Amino acid sequence: MVAELLSVGTELLLGNIVNTNANYLAKECASLGLSCYHQVVVGDNPERLKETLITALERSDVVIMTGGLGPTDDDLSKETAAGVCGLPLILDEHSKEMIADYFERVHAGSITNNNWKQAMIPEGAIVLDNHNGTAPGVIIETDNKAIILLPGPPGELKPMFAEHVAPYLAAKQPEQFYSKMVKLCGIGESSAETKVKDLIDEQTNPTLAPYAKIGEVHFRVTAKAKDAAQADALMEPLIKELYHRFGKLIFTTDPDETLEEVVVKLLKAKGYTLATAESCTGGLLSGRLINVAGISEVFKEGFVTYANEAKMRSLGVKEETLAQYGAVSKETAREMSEGVCQVTGADVGISVTGIAGPDGGTKEKPVGLVYIGCTVKGKTRVEEFFFTGNRKKNRDYAVVRALTLLREEIL
């Protein structure tokens, strides 16, 4: 079954609002086994909206329209859909009661006449109750196809989709798609893809798809099955094969778990404490770590030592080291990671020093050169990296490589 997403709103076209609804709905439709070939955004113009909806119905089985269900004159989604299907709008008493109850519940003030516009429903349509706003959703079934109208606010759309639309669509699908994510760090996308090219070439069900992230590679394993148990049975051999080929490069199979969460989990399991010493990343590394809930159990202190004087004063980096090798060097990175352990008493220290750009590079030390040091219980490892992005990307890559090195050394 083919689904099409039709987002309504001039504010989307102008970029005033980011279309997060389309992102959410695309993922949900894929998980339900629907094929989605088109996503369209159209402004609050009745003629263009009508043309777009007619085109969508010609090429898709289900059209999911979002937005345009409000009480004002420019909210035209229901009116347009009803007109395309040749249906009159009639007052739905149940929806009218729901709107009145919502106003009373949230103390939204007096109900104006235009609010009752939202209770006007295409004749014969399925009404989807909205427990989080005033605009009910609607499903119009016509010529073996369906138009699903959902309110634009994500806080209303998402619960309505989960409660009403997902079961409706699932009942029309004999099979659904189930996915698991295998996340790797410490390997590039091209190298990772080369190692699984034979699996990709031979795939049927389940399928394997690589996705590149900054400093990470994710493999999405997807199976088409009648239920989750059957999907797990189909995916298990492929996931085992990925572990066989990549081993410890895989840091999680939880789609929602981040690299920094895995690092913090490892620190807790080992009973280790951590301190950071940053130069070119300017606190980005400690910020990523502090985003993790429960970090206070393991994180002692973080230093941003941008100037040489700060490296000497706060971390004990030797003046002669800076004079002989420079701030961006293996030697300085080593003394930074060892120094932060000494001054904080942490079991683990991580340091980053480099040239993020766009200026400051030389032939010997170009922009993108970064040294990362990691000390665990007195043992230190320093790695050299050459990144080729802009200033922001170089700093972001440095953070991910630092987290990767932390994980490797803790393991």
Q: What is the CATH number of the domain that holds 379?
A: 3.90.950.20
pLDDT in tens, 374-408: 999 999 999 999 999 999 999 999 999 999 999 99
Is 9 strand, coil or helix? Answer: coil
149 and 295 co-located in one domain: no
pLDDT confidence tier of residue 324, bands split at 50, 70 and 90: very high
34 and 72 co-located in one domain: yes
d(CA 242, CA 181) in angstroms, rounded, equals: 11
H or E element that contains 252: strand 250-252
120 and 213 co-located in one domain: no
From 137, 171, 205, give the residue that closes a domain. Answer: 171
287 and 158 co-located in one domain: no
Structural domain span for residue 222: 176-252
306 residue type, one letter: Y
Give 172 or 273, the one with higher predicted confidence. 273
Tally of domains within the chain: 3
40 and 86 co-located in one domain: yes
> What's the whole-number mean pLDDT along residues 261-266?
98
150: Cβ–Cβ under 8 A, 6 or more apart, which residues?
Answer: 21, 64, 65, 66, 69, 128, 137, 156, 157, 160, 161, 165
298 and 150 co-located in one domain: no
* CATH for 68: 3.40.980.10
Q: Please, what is the average pLDDT of the chain?
A: 95
Q: Is the pTM of this model over 0.85?
A: no
36 and 49 co-located in one domain: yes
* CATH for 241: 3.30.70.2860
The neighbour count for residue 205, using CB atoms within 10 Å, is: 13
> What's the whole-number mean pLDDT along residues 91-120?
88
Unique residue bearing structure tokens 């004063």: 313
141 and 35 co-located in one domain: yes
399 and 296 co-located in one domain: yes
From 117, 149, 171, give the residue that closes a domain. Answer: 171
pLDDT in tens, 232-242: 999 999 999 99
Is 155 strand, coil or helix? Answer: helix
For the chain, give percent helix, strand, coil, nearest 5.
45, 25, 30
Task: Give the pLDDT of residue 109.
Answer: 72
d(CA 45, CA 375) in angstroms, rounded, equals: 62
Task: Give the pLDDT of residue 108.
Answer: 65
From 118, 146, 171, give the residue that closes a domain. Answer: 171
pLDDT at 14 over 80: yes
151 and 203 co-located in one domain: no
40 and 115 co-located in one domain: yes
91 and 155 co-located in one domain: yes
The neighbour count for residue 240, using CB atoms within 10 Å, is: 10
For residues 156 and 135, is the Cβ–Cβ distance under 8 A? Answer: yes
